[in-house]
A and B are shown apart, each in its own frame.
Chain A
Amino acid sequence: QKEVEQDPGPLSVPEGAIVSLNCTYSNSAFQYFMWYRQYSRKGPELLMYTYSSGNKEDGRFTAQVDKSSKYISLFIRDSQPSDSATYLCAMIDNSGGYQKVTFGIGTKLQVIP
């Protein structure tokens, strides 16, 4: 079983829809949770960062963490064609004395105008 599971999609939605992207994980040592966005032929860039269980909002984006269920989500409200990209979840384990980052395989999202 992979430490981080993420559905690769592709996920296709109409413009204006609410998008839900999810990851599950098995390693209880993960303490920090991130979402990266990767446009085609570019490197990933950090979108959202959370530490504790609960919700964190940034504009149209909401990151949600449920540590008891080992489940994280990214919600995109009023999705736009410019949101079309691959979204990677990432989780950090610092228990070994250095940061070890594990990425999900990414979900490809297409927002249709």
Chain B
Amino acid sequence: DVKVTQSSRYLVKRTGEKVFLECVQDMDHENMFWYRQDPGLGLRLIYFSYDVKMKEKGDIPEGYSVSREKKERFSLILESASTNQTSMYLCASSFERLAGVSNEQFFGPGTRLTVL
């Protein structure tokens, strides 16, 4: 059973703080993703990674960075948190194959981040 875990369910931080969100998957997936989900805007891709130490910008990378030092772990970093980064953050992982059902993304439970 695939499991994607996120370090916190709820997080409250102050403006200007550096914030780390951790994601770990246990299925040896090559691909990992960070999304934020906001009402009326849906899921928006922040960054993704197809291999260790590899990262690619998604649709909204500004204000974020990522780190993938190990295959199972993908971290999202908010260098200087701002109030407009208050959101639900979802991590996901999937196999590398481009075709077939392995395209399924497995999501973690999400971290609800509030920046005051």
**Hey, which bits of chain A sit against chain B, CB under 8 A?**
6, 8, 32, 34, 41-46, 49, 88, 90, 92, 94, 98-99, 101, 103-106
Contacts and interface: CB of A to CB of B under 8 A. Distances in A.
A46 B101 CA distance: 10
B41 A42 contact: no
Consensus secondary structure, chain B interface: mixed
Contact of B90 (A6, A34, A43): A43
Contacts of A99: 31, 94, 98, 103
Contacts of A88: 42-43
11 contacts: A6-B42, A8-B40, A34-B104, A41-B109, A43-B92, A43-B110, A49-B104, A88-B42, A94-B98, A101-B103, A105-B41
B109 A46 contact: no
B34 interface: no
Contacts of B110: 41-43
B107 A92 contact: no
Contacts, number: 51
B26 to A, nearest CB: 15
Nearest to B4: A43
B64 interface: no
Contact of B107 (A8, A41, A43): A43
Interface in B80-116: 90, 92, 94, 98-99, 101, 103-110
- In the A-B complex, list the 3 residue pairs whose CB atoms are closest, starting with the nearest: A43-B107, A105-B42, A103-B43
Nearest to A104: B42
Contact of B42 (A42, A43, A103): A103
Contacts of A105: 40-42
Given A34-B104, A46-B104, A98 B98 contact: yes
Given A103-B42, A104-B42, A43 B109 contact: yes
